[in-house]
Each structure stands twice: as C-alpha cells, then as structure tokens.
Structure 1
Amino acid sequence: MIDDMLRTPEAIRDAERWTAHNYHPLPVVVSSAEGSWLTDVDGRRYLDCLAGYSALNFGHRHPTLIAAAHAQLDRLTLTSRAFVHDQFADFCRELAELCRKDLVLPMNTGAEAVETGIKVARKWGYQVKGVAPGQANIVVAEGNFHGRTTTIVSFSTDEDARADFGPFTPGFTVVPYGDLAALTAAVDENTVAVLLEPIQGEQGVVVPPEGYLPGVRRVCTERNVLFIADEIQSGLGRTGDTFACDHEGVTPDMYLLGKALGGGIVPVSAVAANADVLGVLRPGQHGSTFGGNPLACAVATEVVRLLATGEFQRRSTELGARLHAGLRSLVGRGLVAVRGRGLWAGLDIDPSLMSGREACERLAERGVLAKDTHGATIRLAPPLVITEEEIDHAVAQLAAVLAG
C-alpha cells in the first residue's frame, strides 16, 4: 500500500540495509523542506505535523536561523570549551534572561541535558542539602520520557526502552504522573530533586491536572528539594507560553532545554538554574567537547531572540485554539479523546478502526506527516509557523482518514 506512494522505494530498502533498526520510520524519503512543508525525492509535498518532535518549532530553514548558521560557518565552528569564543557569552546571557535564571550550562542533546540535571541535583544534595554520601534520590513520574541513556531508562516505565538494558542505575523513585499525594509521600530526607515533564510528550501529550505543578513547586520548596522541569519538548513556545510551566505560574529550580533551541539546524541543549544550584560544579567535573560550540551558539542565540519577541508564543496560543477546536469536532467520529495545549495535541483513535501507525500511514498518503505512540495514539506538533489554512487542511485530512 505505502510503496505505491514512492517511485523509488529502493531508497528506503537501502536505508534499512545499512542502518540499525532502532527506528521504524514512515516510508517517505525527504529531500528538501521549507516552512511547514517537506518535499520527497519524487517532488511530492507533505505538511509536517511533527516538526522533529518540536525541534523544528520555527519551521524548516527559518531564514533568520539559516542566515546565522551561514555567517558562522564562514568564521568559526568549534573551539571546545578549552577556549572562549565570541558567541558564547551572548548566548548564555540571553538564554539565562529568557529563563529568568543566573546561569546556563550548554550541552548538545536533550538526554545530555537530563544527565546534567541529574548530576547537578545529586551534587547539590550532597554539598548543599547535606544528604549522606551515596544516598541521593530523585522522584520521577510514570510514563516519563527523558531520553534513552542507561541511567535515564533506569527510571523509565516503558518496557521497550528498558528491556535487556540492565543492570539499572539506582537512586530514583517512580510515582504516578499527576498524583500529588503520591509524590509528596515519596519525598524523604534523601530526596534531592523531583524531575518531571510539565506535559508528557511521548506518553501522548498528557497534561497534568490543574494545580498539580503548583503543588509540586510547593512540596519542593517546603522539603528543600529541587524542582527540575524537563521542557525539552514542551518548552520554547510549543504550548503557547515560553515554557509549559508558565501556564500555571510555576518557576522550577532548573530548566532542561533542547530540541527547538537548535532551530532544526544543530543539536543544542542547555540546563538553566541559579548560581546556588549550578554553582556546585567545578572545572573538570562535567563537560562536553561540542557543548556550547560557536555554530550552536550563533543559531541558538537567534532562537532566543525570536522567542523574546513573543510572536511564536502568540501564534501557538491562537493557532493552537483553532487546531484543538477542529480536533475536538472529530471526537465521536473516530477519535476517542484529544489532549494537549497550544500547537501540541495527542489524539486517541478508536482502536476498532485502526492503529496509530495505520492512521499515520494513511495521513502520509494524503500528504500529512504525523507520528504514532503507544498503540492507537498519534501526536501532532506542527511548526509554529503553520497557517490557519494549513491547520484546517491537516484536520480535514485526518477526518477523511477516520471516515475511511
């Protein structure tokens, strides 16, 4: 069925021949992109409703970001942190200001940001809170997705992520997501942090109950525990505010950022916190050869400046309302439920109709690209540059798929 979409399926077969099968991509071979649209090797265009899992919040090849990358490529691309380059201070200062924090620690991938947050929280626990050596504990939530390193999958509840990757790293307590009472009960004298996604993306864009995040903030403050918000997918304009935590007026002790920070051009991640937290690190205790490199900083600084205008947060709010209204009209017509915030939605399809994978394949046939997760759930996360007409088009194609 899907091979008919392409006149050159050999490109897919070649990719499968030479690549470890840790992904199961849709059979579309992309060759170029602009804004909200992708073009395959046969010239067929697709509306991108995944945006690189929010890495492409500003669309493909945003002219401001491409210009910054081109200019920096002609000057300097890497020094390592053994030296200071002329893009570093501006990036760190402007991102710290956006986050309302004192300090920034740049890394590359989201998983690196999470690992950095874990290390900093443990060190803070020992040096500042006074936890006994080797006893630090971090409270996390069921259904989390923070990455796929061995430490991170140690506290995953997804068997695909965990199976056969042990032995696992100790020091984590898992509680139900959205259950403030369970979280409160799990915090003890050895707890150094609570690590949460303010909206769980991989789980299907799950929004916690109203009051949950303020409750977590209150518990962390009362118990002298760091609140670490993993905003790698939910942050940087995706939900209609700069950060998903902003919707409930919550400021965590530490932000973990990534994906959209690189503008869809280079991998960039960062940890942002105040000096009393990030200040526990000393030279030689943590680092990255490529973290904070000149090319990454040049692009990411422009990302921060785009966000500082507020334009993309407004677009996400206004266009997200249109998207969710359209999706809610399909509940009872093939959709069981719709969740999300801003330009981010999780859709549960009636499993008697089709799986999430089948829905995404049929959407691809109609020129719309999305991604399934957990059986009959699909996620929509279009670039924030999408238009009203393009949103209506995506919803119409989904309606046609559900109608059979």
Structure 2
Amino acid sequence: MTAPARARGSQELIRAEEPVLAHNYHPLPVVVARAEGAWVEDVEGRRYLDMLAGYSALNFGHRHPALVDAAHRQLDRLTLTSRAFHHDRLAGFAERLAALTGTDMVLPMNTGAEAVESGIKVARKWAYDVKGVPADRATIVVAADNFHGRTTTIVGFSTDETARAGFGPFTPGFRVVPYNDLAALEEAVDETTAAVLIEPIQGEAGVLIPDDGYLAGVRELTRRAGCLFVADEIQSGLGRTGHTLAVEHESVVPDVVLLGKALGGGIVPVSAVVGSREVLGVLRPGEHGSTFGGNPLAAAVGTEVVELLETGEFQRRAAELGTVLREGLAALVGRGVVGFRARGLWAGVDVDPALGSGREISERLMREGVLVKDTHGSTIRLAPPLTVTGEELRGALGTLEKVLTS
C-alpha cells in the first residue's frame, strides 16, 4: 500500500506521477496540498503567492467562502439530474448570467473547449437556417496565434504546431487571418462566412492586446457582412480586465460570447455560450447537449459567481490593482523586462532572453515563493486572483525584480 499523500514529499510525489499520468503537461516542480485566497501551500508546508490563478479559473481566489458555502449547501440537496429533467437551480442561473452579460439566452456547458465547440455549432446552424448559406459550405474566420482549446476541431485552426502536429486530419471550414488586422479580416469574409471567432485579448499568445478600435472594427465589419461576431472571453471575461467582459473596453456587444474558467469559481467546471435569441434560438432538442451541462451543483456555484460580479467590486479591484501592476512592470523595463502588455490584473511580460527562458524564470520565481507560468519563449503570464491585495501584488513584483536583477 502506498503512503498517504500528506506523508510524502514533493519529489517523491512527482516521481510517482511519471509512470501513471499521460505526459500532456510539464508542471512546475511544486506539489500543492492546500490553498486559500491568493496563497497555496505545498505538501511540505511552504507557502507560495499564486500569480496564475488557474489561468483565470480562480478569479475569486482559492476557496472563496461564498462559493465554498454555495457548493456545500448544494451537495446536501442535489448534484445531478442530467438535462432529461428540470431542476430548481438552472433557470435562476441562466436568468442572472444573461442579465450580467446583457444577453437573451444561455447554453450551459462544462469546459471552455466545450463552449467553443458549441459556439461553432451554433454559428454554423445559424448560417444555414437564418443567413441561408448552402449546406456544408459555412466558414468561420479565426485569428492566427489563437488559443480556444485543444479538441481536434479547435487545434485544426490553431497556428501552434505543438498543438496541431500529429492530430490530423482536421475539420474544414476555417480561415485564419492575422490578429489585429482588419484589412485581412475583411478580405477573408464572404457570403459563406458564418462568424468571426476571436479572443478580445489573446492570452496563450502572451496577453496580446489589439489596437484601440480593433474590436469595434470587427463588430462593424461583421454587422456589415451579415455574419456573427463570436467573442471567446473564457480567459478574459468575468472581471479579469477591469470590466465584466473585455469587449466592454470598446463598448462592443458581440452576437455570441463564450464563457468558462472563472464561471465555476475554481470549484467545478462550468462554461456557457451566451448570446442573442436570434442566434441561440436556432437549436432544437436533440441537436446539441451535455449530460453534466447546467447540472445543479454547477448552477449553484455559477449563480454565486454571478452574484459576486453583480456588485462590481471585483471589476473595480481588477482596474485599480491593474494600475499597480502596470506601474510595477514599467519600472522593470530595461532592468530585465524588455516589454509587457497589461489590462486589468492580467499581463504578459517579455523577459530579456539573456536572463533565461520563460520556464527558467518561472522556476526561479517558484523558488522565491511566487507561482507564475511561462508561455512562448521568454514570456511569462501574470494573472493573480482578483482578491489579491496591493501589498501582495507589490511583493510579487519585488520578487520578480529580485529574480531579474540578482
């Protein structure tokens, strides 16, 4: 019999994973056992400030009391019915999420990739039923360097060879254009175009923020061309950038918004496709579904997430502390940082490659008690929980300075 996890050290547990877990991740060598707020603790009792927040799944921190309480209360009542029956939590969740996002209808799912796949299906169905695109001719325009998930359809229109290589053949019907290029987008759109699918901010690519006016231009172009604007807000949405949705920075209202990650409060996987009645109303019974989508536990936690966002507190915190983040990073430019992009509590930081790769910088920060994650090359991402304090944030920036200048 193996020893209980609490009695085993980090390296022993990491070695134990090697023969039994598929190697689809390369985690930092830290084994987390407990967490609360913006802090995690490893199996040996060492504490770390979490500056990644589960890629925005933990916008409200680890084990937020209101979210944990909502989950506990629901666990004592009902966890799953499947959509074969109604349950008493789903309508309230859908109504409040639609109100929060200014939309008409909600399609509940589980993971972010499921939300993207569902959005693709809905856009194609709308193109055939409403726009009148001939059968099996619908196209969707996407941006280079996108990250929408890792299912086979999605990686088929990725430009990341690590994600694509070895997984074909791929689903046809997608056109890839450069991000932040309205002229290229306009050239790619034609009478077969069902939708333009983009991230308002490209997270995996290094928190790439488009030029002012780009999102408004996408909205105007799609409206003029008679196709849908589908915004993937799975990482950027639900308070991360200082607004409920990142598209609000340009007062843009897409036809469809894809949500996930933070919608589950870091407790259960919850995602959703939200949009206009004209678009989501094309679905009929049997055309799409999910056994766990909109389950009672997910709806209970999701409703509490919406309630937290309804106050505007977390959006304000992200905006105010985002200023602290930007100012701290600006002070490091030329001192190990060669550039950065930030919006709200989200930043992509380009480190001088002479100082190490993004992975190496992440490992050095880990040894100093701060957890981040690298993306491409020498870029690291910072996305602390929205519950982080100014003191904690400044401490993390101080640690980054120490790592880069020591």
Q: 1:305 is matched with which residue?
A: 307
RMSD after superposition: 0.8
Measure the CA separation in 2 of the matches of 1:15 and 1:108.
26
- For 1:214, give the aligned amino acid: A
- For 1:44, give the aligned amino acid: R
Q: 1:152 is matched with which residue?
A: 154
Q: 2:53 aligns with which of 41, 47, 51?
A: 51
Q: Is the 8 A contact 2:372 2:380 kept in 1?
A: yes
Alignment of 1:3-402 (within 5 A): 8-402=10-404
Measure the CA separation in 1 of the matches of 2:17 and 2:369.
22
Q: Is the 8 A contact 2:237 2:246 kept in 1?
A: yes
Deviation string, structure 1 residues 192-213 (Cα, Å, up to 9, x no partner): 1000000000000000011000
Measure the CA separation in 2 of the matches of 1:238 and 1:267.
18
Measure the CA separation in 1 of the matches of 2:262 and 2:114.
15
- Percent of aligned pairs sharing the same letter: 69
What's the offset of the Cα at 1:353?
Answer: 1.2
Where do 5+ consecutive residues of structure 1 fail to align? 1-5
- For 2:374, give the aligned amino acid: D
What's the offset of the Cα at 1:16?
Answer: 2.0
Deviation string, structure 1 residues 77-127 (Cα, Å, up to 9, x no partner): 000000010000000000011111110000000000000000000000000
What's the offset of the Cα at 1:7?
Answer: 5.0
Measure the CA separation in 1 of the matches of 2:227 and 2:98.
21
Measure the CA separation in 2 of the matches of 1:263 and 1:8.
27
Structure 1 stretches (4+) deviating beyond 6 angstroms? Answer: none
Measure the CA separation in 1 of the matches of 2:24 and 2:9.
25
- For 1:171, give the aligned amino acid: G
Q: 1:3 is matched with which residue?
A: none
What's the offset of the Cα at 1:348?
Answer: 0.5
What's the offset of the Cα at 1:324?
Answer: 1.1
Measure the CA separation in 1 of the matches of 2:237 and 2:342.
13
Measure the CA separation in 1 of the matches of 2:181 and 2:321.
30
Where do 5+ consecutive residues of structure 2 fail to align? 1-7
TM-score, reference length from structure 1: 0.98
Deviation string, structure 1 residues 253-312 (Cα, Å, up to 9, x no partner): 000000000000000000001110000000000000000000000000000010000000
Deviation string, structure 1 residues 46-83 (Cα, Å, up to 9, x no partner): 00000000000000000000000000000000000000
Counterpart secondary structure, 1:264: coil
Measure the CA separation in 1 of the matches of 2:12 and 2:222.
54
Aligned residues: 399
- For 2:355, give the aligned amino acid: L
Deviation string, structure 1 residues 358-404 (Cα, Å, up to 9, x no partner): 00000000000000011100000000000000001100000011013
TM-score, reference length from structure 2: 0.98
Q: Is the 8 A contact 2:142 2:198 kept in 1?
A: yes
Counterpart secondary structure, 2:186: helix
Counterpart secondary structure, 2:196: strand
Counterpart secondary structure, 2:34: strand
Measure the CA separation in 2 of the matches of 1:102 and 1:204.
32
